[in-house]
Structure 1
Amino acid sequence: MADRVEVLDNGLKVILRPLAGVPQVSVWAAYRVGSRNELPGMTGSTHWAEHMLFKGGGKLAKGDIDRLVSRLGGKFNGFTDKDWTMYFETVPSDRYETALFIEAERMRNAAFDPKEFDAERTVVISEREGAENEPGFLVEEELWATAFHVHPYHWLPIGYKQDLDGMGRDEVYEYYRRWYAPNNAVLVLTGGFDPDAAMAKVRERFGGLAPETIPPRPRFVEPQQHGRRVAEIRRPGGVDYLEAGWKVPAWGHADLPRLVMLTGVLGGWRGFNIFAAGGWTPRANRLYRGLVEAKLCSEARAGFEMRLDPSLLSVSMVLARGVAHAAVEKRLDDVVERLHDDPPNEKELERGRELVRAWNRYEEDGVTFQGFMIGQLEVLGSRERFPAFLDQVEKVSAEDVREAARTYLVHRGQTVVRYHGEGGA
């Protein structure tokens, strides 16, 4: 059965994907707000607001979400991204109204109790401090901060510690009230349900929620980069890292199918679902052959994120012990420059196509993954075009990949972060 799409009078977009015979339903609430909506001094406010939506409000007391979902044998969570915030509950198919109740109650009625807010400050700061112990986080943060000087992609959704120290309850609550509204949200249901009955329940739960006047999103256009940028991090440890990123267009640009295939040929495609790939690293690609098999790196992977605004195609590398950054950078340049001159052969292209097909099948496996993908694509404005996009990826030629490499994988748009683990493990 095809997806059913309806928009309530208050602006809430509802997407239903009924799946016959499936014993679960996954309910997702996706909001068009992420760290790109933040301003300097308020970094991390989207993530903090997400935390507060688990602390009660309306008819929900603190701890109710955990109790309600756990006693059904279900699962739930929330996620903050650069471009969106999402929440979900996956529960038995005869109990999905519980999930609708939860999402309706917290869409406009989160309490933001001052004591809970202050207690959560410790939690989000601890989360930030814990991340700072991970070299991968530090390298990623430095990469985006160095590549983007003006755009809010400059910071990660966790925010800066000085902002988390300084923000007050009223500021974050006002931020929540500004962006959390039915006319700035998408409600997704996937799984075993009757669509007519589901729509009736959605209208009952959500139809009375008032819309909000959604303010214009902050519009920051990143100036064109005119040269290679390099940043260095030095921390105690025994492992060195290197990350390189190149500016690429926003999601929806005509070159994106080429960039998907370029990523697959270069470093192995790992899917569109940021929760699916995990730590898996593809091996049959040029980065692996040029860096790992050459014993310069123990790990090398490539990827790029679906973004509302121009973003990065990045390569992450863990250096082999005793190997200098300069040697890895030189080999990375060689691998990339070879793509400028030596397009992929048919075997490489077919491997890239099969990776995209396989990941797409995996990302459609189960009601929870399907709900996430529908919500993410809808927020990015490309849900209906996604099947055609996958068809375009299938048609990418060797020359298309070479032209994409020549256009985007160039020094004038490159940012490099060197992480030096000093003093031994």
Structure 2
Amino acid sequence: MTSRSSVTTARPSSEGRAVARTQTLLPGKDGIGTVRRTTLPGGLRIVTETLPSVRSATFGIWAHVGSRDETPTLGGATHYLEHLLFKGTRKRSALDISAAIDAVGGEMNAFTAKEYTCYYARVLDTDLPLAIDVVCDMLTDSLILEEDVDAERGVILEEIAMTEDDPGDVVHELFARTMFGDTPLGRPVLGTVDTVNGLTRGQIARFYRKHYDPTHLVVAAAGNVDHATVVRQVRRAFEKAGALGRTDGVPVAPRTGLRTLRAAGRVEHLNRKTEQAHVVLGMPGLARNDERRWALGVLNTALGGGMSSRLFQEVREKRGLAYSVYSYTSGFADCGLFGVYAGCRPGQVHDVLKICRDELHKVASDGLTDDEIARAVGQLSGSTVLGLEDTGALMNRIGKSELCWGTQMSVDDMLDRIAAVTPDEVREVARDVLEQRPSLSVIGPLKDKQADRLHQAVS
């Protein structure tokens, strides 16, 4: 991703502190949508997007750590830590943290992914100083007490059990394991019952100290915010906790070149007594920095991204074989996935798989029609804009962009890039991705002969 503008300004400190560096990454229009970045001397980055017309603001802190940073014995540590940062600091108890945001009608949450973690609060613009103080306090001064580790272990085990009860979720975790094997990308974000039970307070505290220093963090705020004010409030909060780190701290660069191995032709079947069989058929996709990702996005939309897509029409509308069927892409620093999901009656698994394989083969060999591509470009453009209609989505965009790409792209530039995708580019990426030998994950009560035939779907 590229910045439209990058004007550097130096701001000397009247208090004798080391100088911060501020850049305007996207100038916006008449001050609306302006994106700025300030890098503090300790390596903490603060990015904001200003929208004066709204009355809300979302404040978040992104950590450059995810489940792929865990060793096998630390499986689930990133997610465990996400829970523990809500349990209390020297300044606030767990109740104080939640009550502070509840009292102003805000919402606060967090999520852990394979390559990053995010903590955020969405409030009225007048309550942004409170959100900044609370979230920064959590990130910089968490106590991580032994009793909290023990109490939260049960909560996380319940979360694992809840996920296990939803085969539609489990099949995607199973597919990650099918594709990546016993590697960090192939292991579940939540960890397993065994790894969660094995984690100690000492292990989690060391993980916290290693991955939550300022060089690993990106602060993001969007909405009716003033950049200089946000920077001042964040800096004050980090300084109070003694968490700004070394004055020569350098922000951690985006991930690159990890070279995760991917499988082809593998089949995993988990036999469960479910009403439906849940199926994911897929192959390696593209890394998130691959310039072909725009064409792949158009391909994905046309193939399985909506009610007019090929897979939806062929599997559901024409034959009534599934209620839910779609395709999706996932991009990581060094690799990616392209997958097709369907939920159907167990006896119709092979019919659904054959149709999906046939459509993938047709698109790989013959390409999509110009009409399909034009419709997909319009759909992708519209969904991109509609998905950025609230301050939470905007905060996610600028925070993730800073952490994963190190730059920002305006919505107009994104729309221009989508519109510039040509039919030839879509057909080329279809050949590159869809002609690969797929792998398959299935959850459901298949009979022995049905299960034995699954290998035919990837041959």
* Cross-structure match for 1:19: 51
Q: Deviations over 1:261-309 (max 9, x none)?
A: 11011101xxxxxxxxxxxxx2100101221122222221111124223
* Residue of structure 2 aligned with 1:405, choices 418, 424, 430: 430
* Residue of structure 2 aligned with 1:361, choices 385, 394, 404: 385
The alignment status of 1:375 with 2:384, answered yes or no, reads no
Aligned residues: 407
* Residue of structure 2 aligned with 1:347, choices 349, 357, 371: 371
* Residue of structure 2 aligned with 1:75, choices 107, 125, 131: 107
The alignment status of 1:92 with 2:116, answered yes or no, reads no
- Contact 2:295 2:425 (8 Å CA) reproduced: yes
* Cross-structure match for 1:230: 267
Within-5 A mapping of 1:197-208 = 197-207=229-239, 208=242
Q: Distance in 2 between matches of 1:392 and 1:22?
A: 27
Q: Distance in 1 between matches of 2:256 and 2:377?
A: 37
* Residue of structure 2 aligned with 1:174, choices 206, 223, 245: 206
What is the one-letter code of the residue matched to 1:233? L
What is the one-letter code of the residue matched to 1:369? A
Q: Deviations over 1:328-382 (max 9, x none)?
A: 2211111011102322223211221122212211221111111112112222116
Q: CA, structure 1 residues 218+62, in 2 after alignment: closer, same or farther (shift >3 Å)? A: farther
Q: CA, structure 1 residues 348+377, in 2 after alignment: closer, same or farther (shift >3 Å)? A: same
* Residue of structure 2 aligned with 1:330, choices 354, 357, 363: 354
Q: Distance in 2 between matches of 1:383 and 1:313?
A: 25
Q: Which runs of 5+ in 1 are unaligned?
A: 269-281
Cα distance, 1:151 vs structure 2: 3.6
Q: How does the TM-score come out when normalised to structure 1?
A: 0.90
RMSD: 2.2
Cα distance, 1:150 vs structure 2: 5.3
* Cross-structure match for 1:279: none
* Cross-structure match for 1:247: 284
* Cross-structure match for 2:343: 318
Q: CA, structure 1 residues 263+355, in 2 after alignment: closer, same or farther (shift >3 Å)? A: same
Percent of aligned pairs with the same residue?
Answer: 25
* Cross-structure match for 1:278: none
Q: Which runs of 5+ in 2 are unaligned?
A: 1-30, 448-459
Q: How does the TM-score come out when normalised to structure 2?
A: 0.84
Cα distance, 1:422 vs structure 2: 6.1
Q: Deviations over 1:212-263 (max 9, x none)?
A: 78999898532354x4111111111221121112111210112211111110
* Cross-structure match for 1:144: 176
* Residue of structure 1 aligned with 2:161, choices 129, 142, 146: 129
Q: Distance in 2 between matches of 1:292 and 1:383?
A: 40
2:441 aligned counterpart, secondary structure: strand
- Contact 1:307 1:380 (8 Å CA) reproduced: no
Q: Distance in 2 between matches of 1:37 and 1:218?
A: 13
* Residue of structure 2 aligned with 1:210, choices 244, 259, 262: 244
Question: 32-41 or 375-384: which moved more?
Answer: 375-384
Q: CA, structure 1 residues 21+330, in 2 after alignment: closer, same or farther (shift >3 Å)? A: closer
- Contact 1:151 1:220 (8 Å CA) reproduced: no
Question: 365-374 or 101-110: which moved more?
Answer: 101-110
Q: Distance in 2 between matches of 1:357 and 1:209?
A: 41
2:38 aligned counterpart, secondary structure: strand
* Cross-structure match for 1:115: 147
Cα distance, 1:386 vs structure 2: 6.2
The alignment status of 1:36 with 2:87, answered yes or no, reads no
* Cross-structure match for 1:162: 194
- Contact 1:12 1:182 (8 Å CA) reproduced: yes
* Cross-structure match for 1:272: none
Q: Distance in 1 between matches of 2:330 and 2:442?
A: 21
2:323 aligned counterpart, secondary structure: strand
What is the one-letter code of the residue matched to 1:420? G
Q: Distance in 1 between matches of 2:313 and 2:245?
A: 54
Q: Distance in 1 between matches of 2:353 and 2:216?
A: 43
Cα distance, 1:171 vs structure 2: 0.4
* Residue of structure 2 aligned with 1:56, choices 88, 99, 120: 88
1:79 aligned counterpart, secondary structure: strand
1:237 aligned counterpart, secondary structure: coil
Q: Distance in 1 between matches of 2:288 and 2:257?
A: 16
Q: Distance in 2 between matches of 1:267 and 1:99?
A: 39
Q: CA, structure 1 residues 382+194, in 2 after alignment: closer, same or farther (shift >3 Å)? A: closer
* Cross-structure match for 2:17: none
* Cross-structure match for 1:288: 312
Cα distance, 1:320 vs structure 2: 4.1
Q: Distance in 2 between matches of 1:18 and 1:58?
A: 32
Q: CA, structure 1 residues 307+220, in 2 after alignment: closer, same or farther (shift >3 Å)? A: closer
Cα distance, 1:24 vs structure 2: 1.4
The alignment status of 1:393 with 2:418, answered yes or no, reads yes
What is the one-letter code of the residue matched to 1:242? V
- Contact 1:295 1:320 (8 Å CA) reproduced: no
- Contact 1:25 1:189 (8 Å CA) reproduced: yes
* Cross-structure match for 1:271: none
The alignment status of 1:384 with 2:408, answered yes or no, reads yes
- Contact 1:150 1:221 (8 Å CA) reproduced: no
What is the one-letter code of the residue matched to 1:110? S
Q: Distance in 2 between matches of 1:221 and 1:340?
A: 25
